[in-house]
Every structure is written in structure tokens, then in C-alpha cells.
Chain A
């Protein structure tokens, strides 16, 4: 077993800032990519990669590792930032996002990048893969857990609910699903495009144990992970994380257009300056 050192909440907050800087830098250098959803997911990613998940950067395919499935694969930059900061790849890899030969493909590619447990990018599909991994752990009587992150817009895909019902059927209490509920998608707000209704109640109705947190409060993220750790109640977990798309960069926050646009020189400088000052 690989034990992570105890990481304090303050340290996790600092890591979340570093992750944001790295993700924005990647997208800026590539002049391509998805900053908005990367920033909304940053705090959860920090807690997972710097505290919660049992992973080994020196042995990324270690069979007893916890798995992470980024079902909303387009926010790869935030996961890549974590992989770079944890040492799965050299830190300089952040300069190669979306370039020919880079492990940092436009969307996560398990064949090219160490630490990616499944290739994703086509929305709605990752949760099914996570269910397969969690089921394998149960069948093999292994202790590892599977963490998945799905987008809110992605929950418009029917396959998410096919996967959800299967997780409940097979009593996958080793599966923890985060919904990055930032309420925006490419064409507008989720309410305008396709209302999600009460996403937490939907998962609850499917049979999940659900939680609802502020996805930018490290205290709440850590607390909810403490709560679900070691659960043997037979219920998969769904944590609805209320987040802000673009969180940490003022001009990106809650702005639909920052879904998949790269900052220019001036915008990048401002972003770095704001992030240096921490989360507001």
C-alpha cells in the first residue's frame, strides 16, 4: 500500500491554485482547450490527487491503485496538471498540450499518458467504464475505489443513467461520482439547453447515497470524502458539487464563452496575477 502523507486543507488549497495556474498555462500555450470546466473542477481534483486517492506515480498501472475516470474528458488540462504536479510525467509536459507527440492529447488517452485509467472525450461514456472498474474490484475482492467526475451537461446523455442503474444493481459502494455542477454548457446554461431538474434527487432515486457540497470549499470536499471513505453500505456515492465555471479567474467566471476558448497574452497575464492572489 502506498500511503500519501497527510495533506492539510491549507496545502490542498495551495495545490488547487497551482493546478489552476498549470491548467490555464497549458491552454494558453496550446491556444486551444477548455479552461472553464477545468477551473470548476480544480478543487475536487486537488483533494483527490493530493490526499484521497491511493496512486503511485512511479507505478501508474499498479493494480491495486484507486482509479479516476474523467468522464467530462474535455477538461483534461486540470487532470494533466495533477499528473504533472504529482510526477506521473515531467512537469514541463504542461508546455505540450495538444501538440504532436504529447502525452497530453486534446482529450485523455490512456495509451499515451501515464496515470490515465481510461480514454475519454465522448461525453456520457466514462461512468460506464468506472462501473466496470468498480465491479472488477468487487469481484476480485480488492480494496481499491473508483472516482469518477461527470459534467452536469453530460448528465443529459442517457448512458449516464444506464451506468447509474448498474452501479446500484451491483452495490458498488466503492464508486464515488462527482457531478461538477457548474450549470453551463457550450450553448448556454443547462437550464436553457436542457434542464437537469434536481440532479441530486435523480441520483438518489436511482439508489445512490447522495451528498451536496460547495465544490470550491476545500473544507466541504475533504469532509465529504472523509464521510464516504470506507463505506460498506452497498450504495454507490454521488456528490453533487456546486461549482462556478471558470472559478479563480474573474473574467472567466460564469461566462459561457470560456468553455473552450484560450486566453490571449493580456488575459493570461491577468489570470496568473489573479490566481497568485488565491481564490476569492
Chain B
């Protein structure tokens, strides 16, 4: 794969969704966006202006938005419900379970403000449980791209793959890791580095941190295998099993350490009966108003802690 050498450019992954959905809406008239008032923030305004006939805004009524999307899906539409992650997961969780997952309808939930990225909005708006909630629902796919370009590719794949899916984006700008030609497959981890001493598995906005940590470890002579596990369900089990040849795995996620990427990886490791895992993520506690970087630091989701945790595992 090709990794941009010195990533300096940054873009919020919600922008990736907003740009890609316009392209998809033009190609396929069945692509719909169901907004829940916050279209401006979720970057769906361009879609709304370009394709008013494929756009619905239900106002501040998430549950109804979910049900309406399911109704659209029964007629062959491919609705993308667009809102913030905390509402798109928890406020409409039961509606998505009953009306999208249970009947296995082609409903996509596309959410900005994933994880701690809505830092200054405070703990009420930071989505730390969302991927875990959806991971437990049968038929559901759960995805978070690491940067702008990978998010665009994953949104495109989601639109062209049948089934209910949850896609999560960042509010804040995150570094661009991939170039626009990089291809992604839902459920297939992207290997960023191959190594033999320690494996790091990250997703979403933590992939860049993991990449920096890996480079620092390499400078200290430690060989790192690094995976971008953009899809946590279905999990690329094979890729995790391959990490067991190394046997030492650090997971990194901008999500509660319960029931997200770290848990998914740990399940495989436990079932295989070998290897050790250290989970870096939100420490099962609510956030507060603070800069995103400060909140990440409070939870130990930092380059320094990834490096330290990898070294601890090696000793």
C-alpha cells in the first residue's frame, strides 16, 4: 500500500462523507439522505441542494428518521441517515434494531462527531458507546475510516454493499494518511506496516497516532506490525490471527475500551488461546468539555502511551 510520507494535510472525515455522498447521489438515484436537522454540521447540505428529490429532513426526531429510512429501504432506496454518533446510535438504537437489523434492510447510519472529537461540546455529545452498541446487533456492519480518503472509499463500498451499516466520522480534522487511489474492502484490515516484535491494531482517528507511535518504536529498533481495522464488524479475524504469530497486540481506539475494537480483538485472542492484548481507549468514563487532544491525553490515547504500552508488553 502507499502511505503518504509526511502527512501534514488534515481534514475531518465527515467531509469525506459529505463529498462522497454527492458523487454517489448523482450516480444512483436510489441513494437518499435522511437528515435530522443537523445537515450543515454533518456535511449533507451539498447533497440536499444537488438532489432535493433524494433528500428528507425529519427535524429533530431521530427515532422517526430511523423508521422512515426503513420504510424507504423497503422500496429499494438506499437511505443514509445522517446525524451525530451519540444520537445515531443510542437515540435510535431500538428503531434500528427492530426496523433495519431485524428485517435486514439496506439502511445506512452515517454519523459525524464520533468518539471524543466533539470535545468542547462536552460529555453529552461524545459518542463512546456507539460502535459497541451496534456491534451487538445481528446483520449490522460497523465501520470507521481513518482519514478523509479512506472514509470516502468506505462510504462508497457501503452504498454498494447490501445491509444495515453504521459508519462513524470525526468532527475534527484528522491527518490524511492515504492517497485517493488506495482501495478498501469492508471487513478487511489494511496493513500499514509489517513487523515482528509487536502488533498495533487501531481504527478511526487513532490510526494516525498508532502510525506515529510505530515509527518511534522502529527508531528504537522495535519492529511493528500495524493494522487499520476500519471495520470492527465483521472483524477481519484472519488478520488478528496473523498477529498472534507475534503474540503481543496493542489495540487503540477512540471509543470505550468496552465492546469496541479492543474487545473484538480480545475475543479472537482468547478463543485462539494465545497472545496478550493491551487495550488503549476511553477508560469507561464520560468525558467533559475540553479540547479533543486534552481528552485523548486524559484517556491515554496518545503516541507516548502507545509506545509505552508496546514496550511494556515486550518486557
Chain A interface (Cβ < 8 Å from any Cβ of B): 63, 67, 109-111, 117-122, 124-137, 139-140, 158-159, 162-163, 165-166, 170
**Which residue of B53, B59, B67 is within 8 Å of A128 (Cβ)?**
B67
A166 touches B68 (CB 8 A): yes
Per-residue A-contact encoding for B62-76, CB less than 8 Å = 1, 0 else = 011111111111111
A119 touches B103 (CB 8 A): yes
Cβ-closest chain B residue relative to A128? B67
Bound-state Cα–Cα, A121 to B67, Å: 13
Bound-state Cα–Cα, A3 to B95, Å: 35
How far apart are A74's CB and chain B's nearest CB, in angstroms?
13
B98 touches A121 (CB 8 A): yes
How far apart are A128's CB and chain B's nearest CB, in angstroms?
3
How far apart are A59's CB and chain B's nearest CB, in angstroms?
15
Determine which residue in A132, A136, A159, A162 has the highest number of CB atoms from chain B within 10 A of its CB, and name it. A132
The 7 tightest CB contacts between A and B, nearest first, are A132-B71, A128-B67, A162-B64, A129-B71, A162-B61, A136-B75, A132-B68
A132 touches B94 (CB 8 A): no
List residues 184-207 of chain B with CB under 8 A from any CB of chain A: none
Chain B interface (Cβ < 8 Å from any Cβ of A): 53-54, 56, 58-59, 61, 63-77, 79, 94-95, 98-99, 102-104
Bound-state Cα–Cα, A140 to B53, Å: 9
B66 touches A118 (CB 8 A): no
**Which residue of B59, B61, B70, B103 is within 8 Å of A132 (Cβ)?**
B70
How far apart are B15's CB and chain A's nearest CB, in angstroms?
27
**Which residue of B64, B74, B102 is within 8 Å of A159 (Cβ)?**
B64
Contacts of B74 in A (CB 8 A): 67, 110, 117-118, 129, 132-133
How far apart are B195's CB and chain A's nearest CB, in angstroms?
45
Contacts of A126 in B (CB 8 A): 67
Contacts of B58 in A (CB 8 A): 162, 166
Question: Do A135 and B103 form a contact, CB below 8 Å, given A129-B71, A129-B74, A166-B64?
Answer: no
Contacts of B99 in A (CB 8 A): 118-119, 125, 128-129
Question: Do A122 and B94 form a contact, CB below 8 Å, given A117-B74, A159-B63, A165-B59?
Answer: yes
Contacts of A119 in B (CB 8 A): 98-99, 102-103
Bound-state Cα–Cα, A63 to B69, Å: 17
Count A-B pairs with CB separation below 8 Å: 102
A128 touches B98 (CB 8 A): no
B72 touches A136 (CB 8 A): yes
Contacts of A130 in B (CB 8 A): 71
Bound-state Cα–Cα, A140 to B94, Å: 29
Q: Can you pick out 15 interface pairs between chain A and chain B where the beta carbons lie within 8 Å of each other?
A: A124-B63, A125-B67, A126-B67, A128-B70, A129-B68, A129-B74, A132-B71, A133-B71, A133-B72, A133-B75, A135-B56, A135-B72, A137-B75, A159-B64, A162-B64
How far apart are B206's CB and chain A's nearest CB, in angstroms?
35
Question: Do A162 and B71 form a contact, CB below 8 Å, given A111-B103, A122-B98?
Answer: no
Contacts of B67 in A (CB 8 A): 125-129, 131-132, 159, 163
B104 touches A135 (CB 8 A): no
Cβ-closest chain B residue relative to A129? B71
How far apart are A154's CB and chain B's nearest CB, in angstroms?
13
Q: What 15 additional pairs, Cβ within 8 angstroms, besides A119-B99, A126-B67?
A: A122-B94, A128-B63, A128-B64, A128-B95, A132-B68, A132-B70, A132-B72, A133-B72, A135-B68, A136-B76, A162-B58, A163-B67, A165-B59, A166-B58, A170-B56
B68 touches A128 (CB 8 A): yes
Contacts of B69 in A (CB 8 A): 132
Question: Do A110 and B71 form a contact, CB below 8 Å, given A125-B95, A139-B53?
Answer: no
B71 touches A63 (CB 8 A): no
Contacts of A125 in B (CB 8 A): 63, 67, 95, 98-99
B75 touches A162 (CB 8 A): no
B53 touches A111 (CB 8 A): no
A128 touches B103 (CB 8 A): no
Bound-state Cα–Cα, A160 to B281, Å: 38
B63 touches A136 (CB 8 A): no
Contacts of A133 in B (CB 8 A): 71-72, 74-75
B66 touches A128 (CB 8 A): yes
Cβ-closest chain A residue relative to B68? A132
Contacts of B75 in A (CB 8 A): 63, 132-133, 136-137, 140
Cβ-closest chain A residue relative to B67? A128
Question: Do A166 and B104 form a contact, CB below 8 Å, given A132-B67, A133-B74, A136-B75?
Answer: no
Bound-state Cα–Cα, A220 to B6, Å: 75
Contacts of A63 in B (CB 8 A): 75-76
Bound-state Cα–Cα, A162 to B53, Å: 21
Bound-state Cα–Cα, A122 to B66, Å: 14
Bound-state Cα–Cα, A229 to B67, Å: 25
Contacts of A120 in B (CB 8 A): 98
How far apart are B297's CB and chain A's nearest CB, in angstroms?
39
How far apart are A118's CB and chain B's nearest CB, in angstroms?
6
How far apart are A18's CB and chain B's nearest CB, in angstroms?
29
